[in-house]
Amino acid sequence: MNRNLRLIAVFMIMAAQALAQAPATSPNSVPPQTTTPPETAAPVQNEPAPPAPAVAQPPYQPKFPGDPARSGSEAAALGYMRTVIRAQREYKKKNAKFAPSLNALVHTGSFTRRMTKTDRGDYTVSFQSKKDGFELALTPKQLDSTHRSFYADEDGVIHAEEDKAASETSPTVK
């Protein structure tokens, strides 16, 4: 979603610059007449538009007290993990076992069909069923300071790593 907002902001800046460079005319005005015949008129040289300024992203604002996310993308990834963990707990209460797939979790708690897609914006989901549990990992498409990788299993504890794939031995998310 942040990428879409940036694109809209850049488009609006470019549109504003184009309007600022356009000659001011009213809707009822007549275009000025040229006195130079077309075949002798000098060709119009259009100057390239200046590059659009970079749209600075405001710093991430925590969504709740103690929010461990470092960016909106991380907040969405952590929210997704919590939803899967909660749905798995509800599924186990009803079925005496954990769900074998994300599809099996549909309509369990707030888990929807759309959530079965493994492409989650800036993250890719990996789900593995185990004999008595499951493993869930969210790996960012680009590892950086605002996109850590996350891991959780049937114990419901979320782990994170900054520069590699997270695992059960990674530090826990506070």
Q: How many CA atoms lie within 13 A of 49 on its CB side?
A: 13
Q: Which residues in the chain land under pLDDT 50?
A: 5, 11, 19, 26-27
Tokens of 149: 């990788």
Among left, alpha and beta (phi > 0; psi -120 to 50; other), residue 106 is: beta
Domain limits of the chain?
Answer: 72-161
pLDDT tens, position by position, 132-173: 999 999 999 998 888 999 999 999 999 999 999 999 999 999
Q: Where are the beta strands (DSSP E) in the chain?
A: 119-120, 123-130, 133-140, 149-153, 159-161
Q: What is the pTM of this model?
A: 0.66
